[in-house]
């Protein structure tokens, strides 16, 4: 028996949340958490340009740790996270995305961009009632952030080509599950047509 899953109505004002497109996740030569993601970067660049042209908010998240107590159980489960130390350079947003200084950067310690951060306040102050979620990784921080968007009552779209994962099976399975139960998963082309 299949679920009765519907497409969400269009939000009045979308914000773009780019999850963890930092060097710790985009530079496999420097980090065990990273994977080749050139096409994901390209898709995000298209979205960033369109959001900037429309004067809509662009928000980035990154992960950085400055003490052993931060997210200690998460880091116990996934010790590779320890490379994401503040000041290591791996917490920096990949320069190929061209983040502007005026664009919000949320530093987080857990999977969701909302947990322990002011992301919800940033979205409210920007007047957003909808969110476009992209970034890395689909099965981890993108999924967690997208679920929390829903749980904060934002109409949420995850852009298929603008997300990536080290495990393509997990990427596909999570996009399918997100689209069925929680958010709308759209292609880049469909997202641009829907928002703009």
Query: Any idea which residues carry the catalytic annotation?
Result: 141
- Angle formed at CA 146 by CA 142 and CA 149, multiple of 5 degrees: 145
131 and 154 Cβ atoms separated by less than 8 Å:
yes
142 and 136 Cβ atoms separated by less than 8 Å:
yes
Q: List, in order, residues 6 or more apart from 156 with CB less than 8 Å away.
A: 8, 130, 131, 132, 133, 146, 149, 150, 182, 183, 184
User: Residue 107's beta-bridge partner residues?
Assistant: 62
Which alpha helices (H) appear in the chain, and where do they start and end? 23-26, 38-54, 72-77, 119-125, 143-151, 168-181, 188-195
Query: Which residue in this structure is represented by tokens 């951060």?
Result: 117
């Amino acid at each position: 028996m299949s679920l009765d899953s519907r497409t969400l109505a269009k939000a009045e004002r979308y914000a773009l949340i780019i999850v963890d497109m930092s060097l710790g996740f985009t530079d496999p030569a420097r980090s065990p958490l990273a994977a080749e993601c050139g096409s994901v970067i390209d898709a995000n660049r298209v979205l960033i340009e369109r959001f900037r042209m429309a004067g809509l908010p662009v928000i980035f998240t990154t992960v950085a740790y400055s003490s052993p107590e931060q997210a200690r159980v998460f880091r116990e489960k996934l010790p590779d996270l320890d490379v994401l130390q503040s000041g290591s350079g791996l917490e920096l947003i990949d320069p190929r995305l061209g983040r502007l200084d005026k664009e919000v950067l949320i530093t987080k310690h857990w999977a969701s961009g909302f947990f322990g951060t002011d992301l919800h306040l940033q979205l409210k102050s920007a007047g957003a009632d909808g969110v476009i979620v992209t970034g890395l990784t689909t099965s981890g921080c993108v999924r967690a952030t997208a679920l929390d968007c829903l749980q904060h009552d934002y109409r949420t779209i995850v852009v298929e080509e603008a997300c990536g994962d080290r495990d393509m099976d997990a990427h596909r399975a999570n996009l399918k599950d997100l689209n069925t139960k929680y958010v709308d998963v759209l292609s880049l082309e469909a997202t641009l047509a829907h928002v703009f």
